[in-house]
Amino acid sequence: MIDRNAIAEHNRSSELRLARDFEHLAEVMADDGVTTAECVMTKLTGFSLAAPSWALGTGGSRFGRFPIGGEPRTTEEKIDDVAVLHSLTGTVDAVSLHVPWDDPSDPAGLREYAQAQGIRFDAMNTNTFQDNPSTTDQGRISYKYGSLANSDPTVREAAIAHNKQVIDLGVALGSSALTVWLADGTNHPGQADHRDQFERVADGLHQIHEHLPEGWAMYTEHKPYEPAFYSTVNQDWGSSLLLAQAAGDKAYCLVDLGHHLPNTNIEQIVSRLAMVGRLGGFHFNDSKYGDDDLTTGSIRPFQLFLIFHELIRAGDGRLPELAYMIDQSHNIKDPLEDLIQSTEAITIAYAQAMLVDQAELSDAQNKNDAARAQQILQTAYRTDTRPLVAETRRRCGAAIDPLGVYRGVGYRERLIGQRGTSTVATGL
Ligand code: PSV
Ligand code: MN
């Protein structure tokens, strides 16, 4: 853990500068009259992000992996890392598990362990895209040709059973959602019938949905390609919506920012899904080419801002209560540093979106004044909201400069000392 006193100690060196920057911004905001610094900070304080358990170790590609050392060896150690992120950022207070990469033998014990560190369990994730002994009836079936879409009913049943077991595990952990991302698709034209595959998946999701307890949600996560390179069953938001509708009332669509073909207007998708009441949540990351899983906001910060803007519009001035999660692969950076940077980017974009003068924007839109509309958005986007975000953190005892504190206390070195240099986080 990073001690609160160590954070306070580090904060002292940047408090004066922050106070100056914050005061200036608060004054400008008061003059503008769109919202106040206090109002923005109250909303930022209430904002909660989840970290994925699978992104706490170094990622990699099929060409190689370059481990950083000190990677979490168990789900408990992943929770320790999330707790560190929480103490530094004040925002990341949840972990999303991926089964069987995480396969707790004592869920009640794990729940207590997480609770003691102030960490809750966000959406549970299932894995029917790999053949793991526990999900393939000890190797008697294979997901090589798909899971819920498979032409073999025995395979489909195994995939459904795995999803139900993960829901049960989630109940024991205090989670309340299941995210289903399927690799199902084809690699060759003619390999399978598109409609048959879709209908099997819709039926499977419906059966899984029937197992959801009261108060639970299910998220369908689409992705255009990879590992299926010719067709993917749940390939875009349209299919995701159809599948959610077929699954049932508790099913919503999850938008992973990397799961869109180049130049897709993701903020418009957000608006559409919210409009029909089927937007469930996000997997934040960024991409240049495909599902690159890069640091959120590192490539397209304006897109991230526009997404938050759409969310605030959809929520009538408030951010809707959805599942907000990061999903990245940290191939060369320290995973914790990357998650810190993404958290910063997400909260900055959220704060900027709160600065949009919504009434003025609607007026400009109604008058077809495109230049004014753009000006309103750009004014908000070009505001440096870092003092608001940092002051929010300072007030809740987190770090003014999370990355600086993380490096300053030598946290990775400490982890390497405890966990060794050659540990591999499960699932990687
Ligand atoms: C698929 O690329 C994905 O985005 C899904 O969310 C998976 O669960 C996750 O990455 C890990 O493979
Ligand atoms: Mn994802």
Q: Whose CA is nearest to atom 9 of ligand 1?
A: 327
For residue 182, what are its two tokens?
């399927």
The mean pLDDT of 66-86, rounded to a whole number, is: 96
Q: Please name which of 14, 4, 1 lies closest in space to residue 404, comparing C-alpha atoms.
A: 14
Sequence-ordered list of residues with C-beta below 8 angstroms from that of 317, at least 6 positions apart, any chain: 358
Omega prior to 100 cis, within 30 of 0: yes
- Are residues 285 and 293 in contact, defined by beta-carbon separation less than 8 angstroms? yes
Average pLDDT over residues 33-39: 98
Q: What are phi and psi of 31, to 5 degrees?
A: -65, -45
| pLDDT attached to residue 427 | 61
Ligand 1 centroid to residue 388 C-alpha, Å: 32
Q: Say how far apart CA 319 and CA 77 lie, in whole Å.
A: 31
Which residues, in sequence order, are bridge partners of residue 186?
A: 231
Nearest CA to ligand 1 atom 8: 181
The model's pLDDT over 131-144, given as tens digits with 9 standing for 90+, comes to 999 999 999 999 99
Closest residue (by CA) to atom 6 of ligand 1? Answer: 181
Residue 423 confidence class, pLDDT cut points 50, 70, 90: confident
pLDDT-based confidence at residue 112 (cuts at 50, 70, 90): very high
State the closest ligand 1 atom to the C-alpha of 127, by its place in the atom list counted from 1. 8
Which residues, other chains included, contact 267 with Cβ-Cβ below 8 Å and sequence gap of 6+?
Answer: 303, 306, 307, 309, 310
Neighbours of ion ligand 2 (CB under 5 A): 256, 283, 327
Report the separation in Å between the CA atom of 298 and the middle of ligand 2, taken as the mean of its atom positions. Answer: 17
Residues lining ligand 1, CB < 6 A? 54, 125, 181, 221, 223, 256, 283, 291, 327
CA dihedral 154, 157, 158, 160 (to 10 degrees): 160
pTM attached to this predicted model: 0.97
Contact, 394 vs 88, CB < 8 A?
A: no
Indicate if the pLDDT at residue 425 is higher than 90: no
Which residue of 54, 129, 181 sits with most ligand 1 atoms within 8 Å of its CB, as the best mutation to test the pocket? 181
Cβ of 66: how many Cβ atoms within 10 Å?
9
What separation in Å is there between the alpha carbon of 181 and the centre of ligand 1?
Answer: 7
Residue nearest to atom 11 of ligand 1 (CA): 54
The whole-chain average pLDDT of the chain stands at 97
Q: Which of 256, 291, 293, 329 to mutate to test the pocket of ligand 1 (most atoms within 8 A of CB)?
A: 256
Per-residue pLDDT tens digits for 337-347: 999 999 999 99
- Express each pLDDT in 195-238 by its tens digit: 999 999 999 999 999 999 999 999 999 999 999 999 999 999 99
Q: From edge to edge, which strands make up the β-sheet containing 251-256?
A: 120-121, 92-96, 49-52, 323-326, 279-284, 251-256, 217-221, 177-181, 124-125
pLDDT digits (tens, 9 = 90+) for 342-373: 999 999 999 999 999 999 999 999 999 999 99
Q: What are phi and psi of 97, to 5 degrees?
A: -90, 155
Average pLDDT over residues 29-58: 97
